[in-house]
Amino acid sequence: VEYYWLAAANLDFEDEKNSDIALLKKGYATITPIMLDLTAYERMKKVKKWLKANDE
């Protein structure tokens, strides 16, 4: 199983009730669902033109 642990040293966060930081300090694990969309939408038209040209 491969995993990544991101950490930063000497960052001062305020402990808001039920925040990730507050829960981590209490020993809980936290999960943050993140979705990254790296699609180059500005290039989609060009790719569609390439595909259309190859179909002909």
Per-residue pLDDT of the chain (56 residues; tens, 9 = 90+): 676 667 766 566 677 888 888 888 889 998 888 888 889 999 999 999 999 888 77
Which residues have a Cβ under 8 Å from the Cβ of 13 and sit 6 or more positions away?
A: 19, 21
Predicted pLDDT at 17: 83
Altogether, the residues listed in the chain come to a count of 56
Predicted pLDDT at 31: 87
Q: Specify the pTM.
A: 0.39
Which residues have a Cβ under 8 Å from the Cβ of 19 and sit 6 or more positions away?
A: 13
Predicted pLDDT at 12: 67
